[in-house]
Amino acid sequence: MSTYNITISSDLEPLIPRYLDNRKADIERLTASLAEGKIDDIRALGHTLKGSGTSFGLDAISTFGRELEDAAKASNTVQIQRVINDLATFLARVEITFVDEA
């Protein structure tokens, strides 16, 4: 099983564990919203992820957010499920190294 190795500024180290925990909770929210047909909720959460990932040094989360938002706008539930799965896999396999920036 491969991992996603990401290097982030040590300035963000205190914030990352909670940020990642919140993203794991988003998986449950996304899954429930998909099951309930709440596509607009998925679009809104995708938009939030798109904006937040890069701010925390996790560009992949921003990409997943954009993909979720686009799939929701198209009401493409198959694509939404694929992105939810990909995001869950990323969160399960991400390994972060914190570095001091000069």
Integer CA distances (angstroms), 49 to 23, 42, 100, in order:
8, 10, 25
- Read off the tokens for 64: 């997943």
What angle is formed at CA 59 by the lines to CA 62 and CA 6, rounded to 5 degrees? 145
pTM (predicted TM-score): 0.93
pLDDT exceeds 70 at position 102: no
What is residue 2's predicted lDDT score, i.e. its pLDDT?
87
Cα distance between residue 29 and residue 12, in whole Å? 25
The helix/strand/coil state of 68 is: helix
If you average pLDDT over every residue of the chain, what do you get? Answer: 96
The mean pLDDT of 71-79, rounded to a whole number, is 98
The mean pLDDT of 14-28, rounded to a whole number, is 97
What is residue 78's predicted lDDT score, i.e. its pLDDT?
98
pLDDT exceeds 90 at position 101: no
